Amino acid sequence: MKQIFSIHKWIMLGVCAGLFCSCSSPPKLILYNNTGSAIRVVSAGKEITIAAFEQKDIPFPAHTRKMTILFNTTKWRYHINYPPKEYCKPTACTRIKAQIEKDGSIYIGLPSLKLPFSSLPIQPDSFPLMPKNGSTNES
């Protein structure tokens, strides 16, 4: 009887470990800066500078869904939503292509599109992302 309990314990431990390990990590935003100026992005506790007309991977703010972008003397605040699944890689949502414009709008693109977008793609519901009320001019 003691041996059966031990086997059950190991099976349950394996099932629990499988559940926790099978969760995927949040995707990265591949953000192309089309604003014409350097920007600073604050997301998921990290601050990343992106030069004008360059791109960088930005951590997705999975827990807070909040991101701030400092553009010249303006602070843009965003509430980030997951895009529809077709905007993720075919097998897993690990990277989302996005481009920020001079007005603060953030467009997302299908995995087949290259950054920078040659023309702004048609957007799904809730996109492009726009700075929320409360964005401020810091001058």
If we measure between CA atoms, which residue out of 63, 35, 65 comes closest to residue 50? 35
Convert the pLDDT of each residue in 100-122 to its tens digit: 999 999 999 999 999 999 999 99
Convert the pLDDT of each residue in 58-70 to its tens digit: 998 888 889 999 9
Convert the pLDDT of each residue in 45-58 to its tens digit: 999 999 999 999 99
Q: Considering the domain 26-137, what is its CATH architecture?
A: Sandwich (2.60)
Phi/psi region, residue 28 (left: phi>0; alpha: psi -120 to 50; beta: rest), is: beta
pLDDT category at 13 given cuts 50, 70, 90 is: very low
Q: What is the mean pLDDT of the chain?
A: 82
- Between 51 and 91, the higher pLDDT residue: 51
